[in-house]
Amino acid sequence: MFLQKLTSILVTAYAKAPQGTSMYEMYKHAGIVLEIDKETHKIIDAEFTFITGLAQDFFKRMLVGFDFTTNIDDLIARVDEHYYAPSSGSVAVALKSAQKRYLEKIQKDH
């Protein structure tokens, strides 16, 4: 059986969704899934537990291309600048958690 060689890593993280939002009503948590290139450490795909396709697409465009080994505060500032919603705090927490998990894993592997 031939298995495709993978050049990316999938990282997930979660944060509590704000009460009173549709995200909270549907999921209770804000979840993020990031596909990161193992060589460049850049986000090549992103998905979040947003309800609408527009929010999913917009969020993905905000994150794709970001080097996940650099200062996460720059990415969070970008989200704060372009995303006005009650769940922005949850997004920031999930991003920080995902980066922590990613950095711990790549440091352990080297």
Q: How far apart are CA 92 and CA 86, in angstroms?
A: 12
Confidence at residue 9, expressed as pLDDT on a 0 to 100 scale: 95
Q: Which of 52, 48, 75 is nearest to 60 (CA)?
A: 48
Q: Which of 108, 99, 91 is nearest to 66 (CA)?
A: 99
Sorting pLDDT into bands at 50, 70 and 90, what band is 24? low
pLDDT digits (tens, 9 = 90+) for 49-108: 877 889 899 999 999 999 999 999 999 999 999 988 887 888 899 999 999 999 999 888
Q: How far apart are CA 46 and CA 81, in angstroms?
A: 18
Confidence at residue 88, expressed as pLDDT on a 0 to 100 scale: 84
Q: Starting at the edge strand that comes first in sequence, how are the strands of the sheet with 8-16 ordered? A: 8-16, 29-37, 43-48
Q: Flag whether pLDDT at 110 surpasses 90.
A: no
Q: Flag whether pLDDT at 48 surpasses 80.
A: yes
Confidence at residue 23, expressed as pLDDT on a 0 to 100 scale: 66
Contact 83, 91 (CB under 8 A): yes
Confidence at residue 108, expressed as pLDDT on a 0 to 100 scale: 87
The distance in angstroms from the start CA to the end CA of the chain is: 29
pTM (2 d.p.)? 0.86
One-letter amino acid for residue 105 of the chain: K
